[in-house]
Amino acid sequence: MILRSILTAIVALALPAAAAAEAVLVHAGQLLVQPGEAPLRQATLVIDDGTVRAVRPGFATPAEAGLPAARVIDLSRAFVMPGFIDLHVHLASFAGGESYLRKPSDYAALRAAANARTTLMAGFTTVCDLGSIGYAVLALRDAIRDGIVPGPRILASGDPISPTAGHSDNHGYREEVMAALPRRGVCDGADDCRRAVREAVRRGADVIKVMASGGTLDESDAPTDQQFSDAELIAIAETAHAFGRKVTAHAHGKGAIDACIRAGFDSIEHGMWADAETLRQMKAKGVWLIPTVYPITYVGTTPEQVRAGPLRNLPPVSLAKVIALGDQPKKLVRQAQAMGVKIALGTDASIYPHGQNAHEFLEYVEAGMTPMQALEAGTTRAAEAGGIKGAGSLRPGMPADVVAMARSPLDDMAAVLDVAFVMRGGTVYKMDGREIPFMPPASPAAPAAPH
């Protein structure tokens, strides 16, 4: 451990982290500027002030690029592409981890910061956090944006919107315990649901996350339930859109998914039991599917695997719901892809350890996508589904969110599991497979003395 720290320190001296404002030329062996298009061979990515300025053929020198002071980063033997995007994470949680009931409430934000750093090191430069209690991830989002701690760019929902007794309400405990726990995001009736969405926006939510069906891991609701009425879902979607926010639904059962499609939702998370008719509706209305396959593979897809797997200590009722999923997620992706439903990458990071998010790309290929389609799902398509303007592509004008790996994922999708280089907004966070120690900027000027 000490040796590793010393090595890291030496590497840090040899390879100082690029400041965001620094001019950088990345010499790329292969450069995938825009997933969906063929990668370029031997090209230079010209970056200045944290933004991609140009893409040039060959390995341009700083003088040739018109930036004589530029630093050259040699990725001439690597595959270089836009940073990955995960539209469904829970940075403050880990299903196999500790209970926050025994921790101070601010502990969740510190746990989330560690998970955010791990996620960035795995090549995810943008994530959407779809549910964290209180302000933990909303605060982390701002701290990362302000350069205080390292991590991906975060869009966050804060507390999800749920009906009384719904998937993210507290239920199943004795009365006194439930009375003591916070209940943000809980609403009943169309007017109250408008209020709940407005409250979420007031707290700083970038996206509105709705618990439209029951869930799998808890004990007291069924994933096939439609928990909100049509009138409530319409009120939620209208209010979210009125505030310029995307609205996405946790929905497993057909009834809940269909109701969200009717109500005008932008996307469906999980969508496990969507049938052909539901998928046709999603395609017709342009509703995105965010299928979260890897967590189910992680917990096991056969009854034997689930009973011996990481969630083996779940209560029997929850274990039975996990077992019922089987390989349904992969079947769903195969069918949705074949029918032309738009799919974007999301992983529900928290069911599995944070940082393993890139396994989702491999799941999509196993479910029938080409490697390029899988890469699109986790870059350009995720940016489109999430309404994220500055991510998913390395075209001139885009933020310099860049990852690189030794092999081409177009030849072997498993290459995405070994991201060796990470840059976000022009700052290098990982080089040659090693994390660059993060240096927050010097403290801002001391506040003026009180009057």
Q: How far is the CB of 269 from Zn ion (least distance, A)?
A: 6
* Of residues 443, 312, 355, the one with CA closest to residue 118: 355
Say which of 86, 129, 169, 209 is annotated catalytic: 209
Of 348 and 376, nearer to Zn ion (C-beta) is: 348
**Catalytic (active site) residue 209:** yes
Q: How far is the CB of 304 from Zn ion (least distance, A)?
A: 25
Select from 151-159, 192-200, 209-217, 344-352 the region that touches Zn ion (CB under 5 A). 344-352
Of 86 and 348, nearer to Zn ion (C-beta) is: 348
In angstroms, what is the C-alpha Rg of the chain? 22
Q: How far is the CB of 287 from Zn ion (least distance, A)?
A: 18
Of 266 and 348, nearer to Zn ion (C-beta) is: 348
Of 118 and 168, nearer to Zn ion (C-beta) is: 168
Say which of 342, 348, 401, 430 is annotated catalytic: 348
Select from 184-192, 303-311, 343-351, 382-390 the region that touches Zn ion (CB under 5 A). 343-351
**Catalytic (active site) residue 348:** yes
Q: Enter the tokens of residue 249.
A: 């639904």
Q: What share of the chain is helix, strand, coil (3-state, %, to 5)?
A: 35, 20, 45
Of 348 and 401, nearer to Zn ion (C-beta) is: 348
Q: Enter the tokens of residue 116.
A: 């955010």
Q: What angle do CA 249, 250, 254 make, to 5 degrees?
A: 90
Q: Enter the tokens of residue 198.
A: 């407005």
Select from 17-25, 109-117, 318-326, 342-350 the region that touches Zn ion (CB under 5 A). 342-350
State the residue for tokens 């510190």.
110
Q: Check binding of 348 to Zn ion (CB under 5 A).
A: yes
**Backbone torsions φ then ψ of 46, nearest 5 degrees:** -100, 120
Select from 4-12, 217-225, 251-259, 346-354 the region that touches Zn ion (CB under 5 A). 346-354
With contacts defined by CB under 5 A, how many residues of the chain interact with Zn ion? 1
Q: How far is the CB of 414 from Zn ion (least distance, A)?
A: 25
Q: How far is the CB of 88 from Zn ion (least distance, A)?
A: 6
Pairing of strands 246-251, 207-211: parallel
* Of residues 255, 263, 256, the one with CA closest to residue 239: 263
Q: What residues does 427 pair with on adjacent strands? A: 424
Binding mask 294-333 for Zn ion (x = CB under 5 A): ----------------------------------------
From the DSSP assignment, how many helices (H) and strands (E) are in the chain? 15, 15
Chain position whose Cβ is nearest to Zn ion = 348
Q: How far is the CB of 354 from Zn ion (least distance, A)?
A: 13
Task: Give whole-number Cα distances, 419 to 128, 309, 410, in Å.
Answer: 20, 27, 14
> What distance in Å separates the CA atoms of residue 178 and residue 131, rounded to the nearest whole number?
19
Q: Enter the tokens of residue 205.
A: 């939510």
Q: Return the residues of window 130-149 that contact Zn ion according to CB under 5 A.
A: none
DSSP run (H or E) holding 423 = strand 419-424
Report the catalytic residues: 209, 348
In the complex, which residues of this chain contact Zn ion (CB under 5 A)?
348
